[in-house]
Amino acid sequence: MLTRWVVVSAMSLSAVAAQAALCSEELANQVTKSNGKGAAKALAPVATAQDLAVPADAALNPMAQLQNIAREASRRSAQVGAVKLLADAAAYDVDETRGAALPQVSVTGTVGPGASRSTGIPWASGTYAGATLNVSGLIYDGGRLSQLTQWRRELAKAATFTAQSTREQVVLETISTALERNRYRQQAQVYQQYTRKMACLVDALQQIVAEDRGRASELVQVRKTQAQAEMARDAALTQMRQTEIRLRKLIGEQIGAGDGISAALGQTLDTGEVLRLMEQGSELRQMRAQSEASERYADAMSAALKPQVNWVVSSTAGLRGETKTASAQAGLSVTYSVFRGGSDQAAAAAASRRAESARQQYAELLASRAARVSEVHEAAVASFDRARRFVDILKDSDKVRAATFQQWSQLGRRSLFDVMSAEGDHFNLRIAYVNALHDGYQANAQLRSMGESLSTWLGIQGL
């Protein structure tokens, strides 16, 4: 009996050793392919070669890919187009208000039956035709129209900055979505390699179990882990496809999805630099313009309480039958509201409060944005620090898993549980490394957006 056990054990170790070289070679091939040098082969039906293949645009310059993505997203966005139209409308509002301060000319024409009578003169009736020309101009209004014009100008500036801010939001969303797609795609690649390693163990254990039925439970354990790895891979692929749908909505299918953009977002900006550029960002400039507009409107409401003085020239000419009439007038028109129930004062006070509210909102936004910059910067630094640490840990993890597999497959000194544990820890570390890197890329994209803006950095601000 002892002799038979020794023989079976020797045959089991021989079978495992035969498969060990194949598993190592398979893993090496997958590592090479995960670096973008090929597409995975012999995948499960749910994970096709197209899912894990590297798109052709990955060979492009990272900055060029970012520019292509940002430009296409800006061009296709209906939201960006809508706010641009609102900015154009605000510019026309400025012309409308400015035109009210220029001389106003109007002509009125009248035609129809009529009658007239003067003392000592009998009734005269017949068809009457007349025309009146009125020309008027502003002399003094306490600065009301000037302040209203400046109010419209500030609103137009705010609308322009809103358009820029909206475009920046679209660009940031698109780049973040592309980064998320890359995250899930790389996760799927790691899980696919894990699945293949478990498949190698399954093949080895099938040969062992053929010789030693007592180890059938080990085969069941490996198959269970293989199935779990496949489920994790399929979940990552599902998330990748869902992200691709969102990305397709943003940039269409004319250009690639930006698999190589990560390299351009590897540099973390200094906090001081971001804070210095932050106040030149479109969102804060929009708030400043709105605050200034509120102040100008409050000044206009106060000026409306003062007398309004205009010069007026009017001329009227008429014809009734054979009789022609003409008259002309010139003078000043003075308007002053003596009492309107306090509504004018209330409107001025309300406008003043809104202006103060806008100033406080700007101060609050500036403070919260500065705090947010520090948070995102800390997140970026911490993410890349974790990634660097994972690199060192992965080197040791790879040595441990290789030694554990060798001791199990060739020497029989380790249990299958040790092998499974080493493999699981290693691939979990690789997933954590992928997540840490992409968390850093996402944070760097946000820092760029909060500073000089991604659109400015990519040179598409003129779109």
Closest CA to 28 of 274, 224, 193: 193
Q: Does 29 score more than 50 pLDDT?
A: no
The tokens of 114 are what?
A: 């009529």
- Determine the average pLDDT of the residues in 148-174: 91
Long-range contacts, stretch 36-43, CB < 8 angstroms, 24+ apart: 36/259, 40/189, 40/192, 43/192
Task: Give the range with max mean pLDDT: 25-34, 223-232, 322-331.
Answer: 223-232
User: Per-residue confidence at 258, pLDDT binned at 50, 70, 90?
Assistant: low
The pLDDT of residue 1 is 40
- Determine the average pLDDT of the residues in 440-461: 89
Distance CA 279, CA 273 (A): 11
- Determine the average pLDDT of the residues in 263-283: 88
- Note the pLDDT tens digit of each residue in 84-136: 999 999 999 998 888 888 888 889 988 877 666 666 666 566 677 888 889 88
Long-range contacts, stretch 243-252, CB < 8 angstroms, 24+ apart: 243/177, 243/180, 243/181, 243/184, 244/181, 246/177, 247/174, 247/177, 247/178, 247/181, 250/73, 250/76, 250/77, 250/170, 250/173, 250/174, 250/177, 251/69, 251/72, 251/73, 251/76, 251/174, 252/72, 252/76
The tokens of 252 are what?
A: 């269409």
Radius of gyration of the chain (CA): 39
The tokens of 306 are what?
A: 């003062």
The tokens of 59 are what?
A: 């060979």
- Note the pLDDT tens digit of each residue in 288-342: 888 888 888 888 888 888 888 888 888 888 776 667 778 888 888 888 888 777 8
Lowest mean pLDDT across 22-31, 107-116, 228-237: 22-31
State pTM to two decimals.
Answer: 0.79
CATH of domain 2-102+148-305+349-457: 1.20.1600.10
The pLDDT of residue 261 is 87
- Determine the average pLDDT of the residues in 342-357: 84
User: Per-residue confidence at 445, pLDDT binned at 50, 70, 90?
Assistant: very high
Q: Does 9 score more than 60 pLDDT?
A: no
Task: Sheet containing 104-118: give its strands across.
Answer: 104-118, 121-140, 308-320, 323-335
Task: Report the chain's mean pLDDT, rounded to a whole number.
Answer: 81
The pLDDT of residue 299 is 85
Distance CA 425, CA 390 (A): 12
The pLDDT of residue 256 is 62
Residue 109: φ, ψ to 5°:
-115, 145
Distances, alpha carbon 137 to alpha carbons 99, 101, 150, 446, in Å: 11, 7, 19, 53
Instruction: Please answer whether residues 362 and 294 qualify as being in contact, where contact means their C-beta atoms are separated by less than 8 angstroms.
Output: no
- Determine the average pLDDT of the residues in 78-87: 90
